[in-house]
Structure 1
Amino acid sequence: MPQIKDAAVLKAVAHPVRRRLLDVLRVDGPSMPSVLARTTSQAVANVSHHLRVLAEAGLIEEAPELARNRKEHWWRMPDRSISWQLADFDGDPADLAAADAAMAIGLQRQVELISTWLGSPASREEPWTGAAFSTDGFLRLSPAELAAMGEEIQQIVDKYAGRPEAPDREPVFVIGRGFPARP
């Protein structure tokens, strides 16, 4: 998984529409701006602008081999996952603000996805209602133990990532966070 260490790249991630476009490309694979516009309920011109910003940041790339003619423009994510560490941006207040903004946009997107699921009829229907899970808890961990736990959780996510489509498989959003907190 590529680690973002450039604040300019992180600024490209720190926008709700661009975050949603990355999610759609991550889940659905390569796509054209018109399809992305329909999927995200955005104007094609707006989607095209945000795709250019993501491309300039190196987060997506054109996929010209998918085009049937010169008018079609396809985009894809070369890496399906991206991540960053706040520690990589704490040397400059502007860079740290970009990292904080990207984290806030990410959290906002996570809450949006969870809220949409909880409000949907599918959340009360089998087989997904029995399969969906939510867990949380307070643990007593050192920073090293928390980091090790995060690595183990990432290994589990990586184990299930990239599975081919099948009749019984749908995109599933999984969230895991760990941080110091008091009840």
Structure 2
Amino acid sequence: MPTPTPEPRRHEGVRTLTEAKALSALAHPFRARIMDALKVDGPSTASALAQRTGQAVGSASHHLKVLSEAGLVVEAPDLAKDRRERWWRLVDRGTRWSRSDIAEDTAALAAADAAEALAFQRQVVRTQDWMANRESDPQWQDAGFATQNWLRLTPDELRQVGEEVVDVLMRWSGREVPEDGQERESVFVFARGFPAQP
């Protein structure tokens, strides 16, 4: 009898997506950038997000509407200075999905594949940009890192490694930033682990 797959560790504020609508919303490059900007900068207006992501304000508003309909962002009326100003915030601190959770929903599987392919493409582009431009900011050259390793693991052990890596990143992303006068920049960290051969 096969060993049952253990439940993934749940992190506070991280929602497991199972709906094709939410996964499809994440599979669009501008919407992914809006989600990133809201995570890095916090709540924002459509015009500020348009400027941040290089879109027209109308386009940013449209993408915010799609993200809202997918349950990924909500309006933040408490931040508006007047009735014309519309602020938006993330619903959750983060999102995740599992193919086993959506295995019966072909639309959700296709959307998840598209969202993951887009995320990977953006990881590669960001890495290439860093490598091409790291000379321009010497103080960060030795701080940036890359690591890879070959491990011999079972699927459950790989899940455990993944959970430990996510735990570290969630701890750092959720910490209260010290008010110590030091300037901090947004830093992009990603990791992947999967079966492969040399």
TM-score, normalising length: structure 1:
0.93
> Which of 122, 146, 170 is 1:158 aligned to?
170
**Aligned residue type for 1:149:** V
Secondary structure of 1:76's aligned partner = strand
Whole-angstrom CA distance in 1 between matches of 2:90 and 2:156: 32
Residue in structure 2 matched with residue 26 of structure 1 by the alignment: 39
Instruction: Give how far 1:172 is off.
Output: 0.7
How many percent of aligned residue pairs carry the same amino acid? Answer: 47
Please show how residues 24-173 of structure 1 align to structure 2 within 5 Å: 24-120=37-133, 122-123=134-135, 125-162=137-174, 163-164=176-177, 167-173=182-188
Does residue 181 in structure 1 map to residue 193 in structure 2? no
Whole-angstrom CA distance in 2 between matches of 1:91 and 1:182: 30
**Aligned residue type for 2:115:** A
2:73 and 2:90 in contact (8 A); partners too: yes
Instruction: Give how far 1:92 is off.
Output: 2.9
Instruction: Give how far 1:80 is off.
Output: 2.2
What number of residue pairs does the alignment pair up? 182
Does residue 17 in structure 1 map to residue 30 in structure 2? yes
Secondary structure of 1:131's aligned partner = coil
Secondary structure of 1:2's aligned partner = strand
Instruction: Give how far 1:182 is off.
Output: 1.6
Say which is worse superposed, 160-169 or 51-60, in terms of deviation: 160-169
Whole-angstrom CA distance in 1 between matches of 2:92 and 2:20: 18
**Aligned residue type for 1:176:** A
Whole-angstrom CA distance in 2 between matches of 1:97 and 1:52: 22
Deviations 1:37-80 (A, max 9, x none): 11111111111000000011110110111111111110011322
1:117 and 1:123 in contact (8 A); partners too: no
Runs of 4 or more consecutive aligned structure 1 residues displaced over 3 Å after TM superposition: 122-126
Unpaired runs of 5+ residues, structure 1, are none
Instruction: Give how far 1:125 is off.
Output: 3.5
Deviations 1:7-57 (A, max 9, x none): 111111111110010000000001111111111111111110000000111
